[in-house]
Amino acid sequence: MSRLGRAWNNWVRFLDRREPGTTLALWRIACGLCVVGAIGSVVLSGSVRPLWLNPADGGYSSLTPPWLFRLLGGITPGAVIAVIAVTLIAGTLMTVGLGGRLPVLIALQGYLALVNLNASGSGGYDNAITNSLWLLFFARSAETLSLDCRIRSGNWTSSREVPAWPRYLAIFQLVLIYWSTGMHKLSAAWTPAGGFSALYYILQQPTWRRFDTTWIAHVYPLTQLATAITWIWEITSPLLLLALWYRATRDRPGRLRRLFNRVNFRRLFVFIGVAVHIGILVFLEVGPFSLIMLAFYLCLYHPDEWRKPK
């Protein structure tokens, strides 16, 4: 067999790997909660009218209807309320795992329609949420920890194996988001040239901070340290893919493989990431960004590790 043929066969075997569905089920639950929380927060804050309706109905900007609203006759209060209700119901069904892939697809289309109503009221976290929903639609994420499983087998859990590639793609998506974010930090304030001052200035932005943070000037060196760690962590995030490969092939020889496994690079990556996102949640108002990113972290763990952590 030619080298190309062997490479193709290895690729097919890689994509054909199967594993218990626990990790994908946990990710499904987390993403479903993110959908309900993101849409629900707009409803509870009273922002539906100004954000997702035209000026004639109380909105602050003229909106262009996405395809779903064109099918529903335009951006009317009734149509917006209906899409919100259906999306919240679909997100809830997705969370409890009832209906297989269908509620995931409905939640995805409803969420896309709503966040695309007003570009100024959306953010990168919405792309992270919808990308998650696309992957979950192609995954068999309701095989366990779901009402579907309970109805089918009488148990809440199942040992049925599912394709692992959606989890692999979720990990790649996580790394891609962090790496591209780090590479787009072009301001000198993120680098030694700017004294690692970026986070200090971000925490002084009234549009982002949750509360007065002028006191942080007294601990300015800590913000410099946090800036440096965050930026380096983001731009080196592709090393996580290497670390996971080394972890999965720990029995093979190699000094670099032994080094990565000895320091447990995944644990270090997760520790820094959780600290970064807790800091964002505490100090900054940037929507559900941290919540959906932390949901991705579930995919870093093989299903067997939830039963027997290593």
Contact 149, 22 (CB under 8 A): no
146 alpha-carbon distance from chain centroid: 21
pLDDT confidence of residue 310: 47
Give the Cα separation of 54 and 51 in Å (integer). 8
Which is it for strands 161-163 and 18-20: parallel, antiparallel or unpaired?
A: antiparallel
pLDDT tens-digit profile, the chain (310 residues): 688 888 888 888 888 899 999 999 999 999 999 999 999 999 999 999 999 999 999 999 999 999 999 999 999 999 999 999 999 999 999 999 999 999 999 999 999 999 999 998 898 999 999 999 999 999 999 999 999 999 999 999 999 999 999 999 999 999 999 999 999 998 999 999 999 999 999 999 998 999 999 999 999 999 999 999 999 999 999 999 999 999 999 999 999 999 999 999 999 999 999 999 999 999 999 999 999 999 999 999 999 999 754 4
Nearest of 253, 261, 266, 251 to residue 302 by alpha carbon: 266
Give the Cα separation of 34 and 91 in Å (integer). 8
Give the Cα separation of 21 and 250 in Å (integer). 23
